[in-house]
A and B are shown apart, each in its own frame.
Chain A
Amino acid sequence: MNKNLQDIDKIFTQFLKDYTEEPPPDMWQQIENDLNRRDAEMYKSKYGSLKKTVTCIVLTCACLLLSGALQFFKHNNDETQIAYKSFQSAKKFELHNNKKEYNHDKEKVKQGNAVTKENLNDNTTLSKNTLIASDKIHQDYNQIIPLYNTPNTSNNTQESLLILASGTNINADTITSSVLLSNVLKNRIPLNLIQEKSRGVTKQTITKQKHPFYAIPFATIDHVAERLQQVYEYNNENKSDYSGREKPDMSYTTGLIFEYNLSKKYALQSGLVLSNAFTNVSPTIVKAVPDNSGLYKFKLVTSYGFAEIKKAGMAQQGDSVSIIHAMIHLQYISIPALMKINLKQGKINISGTLGAAFNAIQKDEVEVDYATSSASEIESIGRIEGVKNNFITLMAGAEAAYRINRNISIGVNPVLRYAVTPVNKGTPVKTYPINLGVGASVRIKL
């Protein structure tokens, strides 16, 4: 009996060894669909994390830029106020100084006892009265110039002497240098220490004056063209059919750009830009086509991708809907990074910009006005199959700005944005938008 039991194995292996069974006919289709879905999920998760990383980096950069701008603006204000207050207190101190002391020091200066080429060097500690005395004789250039021209006199001492001599002609430099004067007056500290301190202050003040921030709100009216690249033929249509069917409508862009001047000639620009691109689709017939799962659907094929018309109901093979009109709306936020080159400066500034922008698509929708055999309807399709989440453009622009006053100028700026990556994927054509806009901007000094 046991041997017979073991024969069971042989019976089954012998009978079933070469046995084959056909899988269901749609098995391969299902496997293909499943593989596509998994691929899509994989790419989604892969690029999802990339997208999150890029967003984090961009936000961090924006925060740093903003905080830097605020810090700079605040610091600039503080420094100016400190300098101004120091100057005021120096003046006040000077006015209330003892007249006797003043006359005494004045005499000493005149006699060359207090400030001479021998004793006025980097290690000299000047008394407040001597300095005030020197300040008071500023009108008499003959007293100062010889000292200024002395070969042993350091640059900073020269600078101080000039300030003392410059008297009432107060400009920004004098205010800054009055910090130095004030410190000397109050603290009786050696000039060489003041020199080091004041060099930083002066340098910083000069830098601030040369590197201001600007905010530039702007708006442009755009003409959107598309560069199409054929990937595969769909329904016997090629890229010329799409470009023939789709005509650009009025599009617009608004945004806020921040500008940071690197030098008189070069500046960096970045900010946030919102663009809305509209495209009209001419009347056409959409035939029901089967998708991967074998279901028939009405899909309007555009250069951006497939827009499924759902309200037309269940489609059968051979069904069609007539598209009376359709409008494609693409909305995206751009973060540009631009280099600005000032070509001509004056009352009218002429400049050029060059750079790139990262564009995140916010909205891709199609409004379709269509007619079936029974009725006509308007459907807003909120998602175009195939449209990616982002794309990259190169940017080039020019600006002619008229300076109204020291802080505000208005300008006209044509901008060209040329996509270097397509806005879609897996579609019959790859679409690269080309956006030419002309608009106006206001440049406000922060």
Chain B
Amino acid sequence: MMAVCLRYAKNRQDAEEVLQEGFIKVFSCLHQYKFSGTLEAWIKRIMINCALQRLRSKNLLYKVMPADNIPEEYIDKDLVLDNINAKELIQLVQGLPTVCRLVFNLYAFEGMKHREIAKLLNISEGTSKSNLHDARVLLQRRLHEQIFVANINSGA
């Protein structure tokens, strides 16, 4: 669950707070678990809701940084495998603008449709799609930079 929280939070401290809050909710609302799905999925859902709630309360959900002027870069999957570890990938996700990060997480990891994401985040489907695109472009760009830096370091 810590990994889930890390993906949704901006940094580790935020992630720990979300995790703590989430587990308190889990224990407080354990009687509401209906055994309709796995317990893990139920807890994960609570963690995500906590993360969203936290961002809503801080009014961070609606600040969008446009990524129109960022050029797209080609990324080789094998290069990523060779040069970047999971922790760094998490940091890349954390580095995304809030809404982009949420849309990317919900779309890529939770398998939600844009319609569902739009409803959950109270945005339009178009905005969701646009944010996903921005997130992908930003991640691609940053991955490229990371690989570039890693190559330089290994060359040196």
CB within 8 Å of B: which residues of A?
Answer: 1, 4-13, 15-16, 19-24, 27, 30-31, 34-35, 38
A13: chain B residues within 8 A (beta carbon): 108-109
A8 with B89, Cβ < 8 A, contacts A13-B109, A34-B20 known = no
Return the contact of A4 from the options B93, B109, B140 (Cβ within 8 A).
Answer: B140
Count of A-B contacts judged by CB separation below 8 Å: 79
Kindly state the separation between the CA atoms of A19 and B93 in the bound complex, as whole angstroms: 14
Q: Residue-by-residue, is B1-40 near A (CB-CB < 8 Å gives 1, otherwise 0)?
A: 1110011000000001001100110011000000000000
The 5 closest A-B pairs by CB, nearest first: A21-B2, A9-B108, A19-B86, A23-B2, A5-B136
B16-A5 in contact (CB<8A): no
Kindly state the separation between the CA atoms of A416 and B2 in the bound complex, as whole angstroms: 59
A35: chain B residues within 8 A (beta carbon): 24, 27-28
| Closest chain B residue to A22, Cβ basis | B2
A5 with B140, Cβ < 8 A, contacts A12-B89, A22-B2, A23-B2 known = yes
A20-B74 in contact (CB<8A): no
A9: chain B residues within 8 A (beta carbon): 104, 107-108, 136
A11-B2 in contact (CB<8A): no
A21-B93 in contact (CB<8A): no
A16-B140 in contact (CB<8A): no
| Closest chain A residue to B93, Cβ basis | A12
B20-A31 in contact (CB<8A): yes
Q: A12-B89, A30-B20 are in contact. List 4 more A-B contacts (CB 8 A).
A: A12-B104, A16-B93, A19-B90, A31-B24
SS of B interface (majority) = helix
Return the contact of B77 from the options A11, A24, A27, A34 (Cβ within 8 A).
Answer: A11
| Closest chain A residue to B88, Cβ basis | A15
Name the distance in Å between B6's Cβ and chain A's nearest Cβ: 6
A1-B74 in contact (CB<8A): yes
A20 with B3, Cβ < 8 A, contacts A8-B143, A34-B24 known = yes
Kindly state the separation between the CA atoms of A16 and B137 in the bound complex, as whole angstroms: 19
A30: chain B residues within 8 A (beta carbon): 20
Q: Residue-by-residue, is B64-107 near A (CB-CB < 8 Å gives 1, otherwise 0)?
A: 00000000101101001100101001100100000000001001
| Closest chain B residue to A9, Cβ basis | B108
A16 with B86, Cβ < 8 A, contacts A4-B74, A4-B140, A30-B20 known = yes
Q: B46 near A: Cβ within 8 Å?
A: no
A7 with B24, Cβ < 8 A, contacts A1-B72, A16-B7, A21-B3 known = no
Name the distance in Å between B147's Cβ and chain A's nearest Cβ: 11
12 pairs across A/B with beta carbons < 8 Å? A8-B75, A11-B143, A12-B108, A13-B108, A15-B81, A15-B89, A16-B93, A16-B109, A19-B90, A21-B90, A30-B20, A31-B27
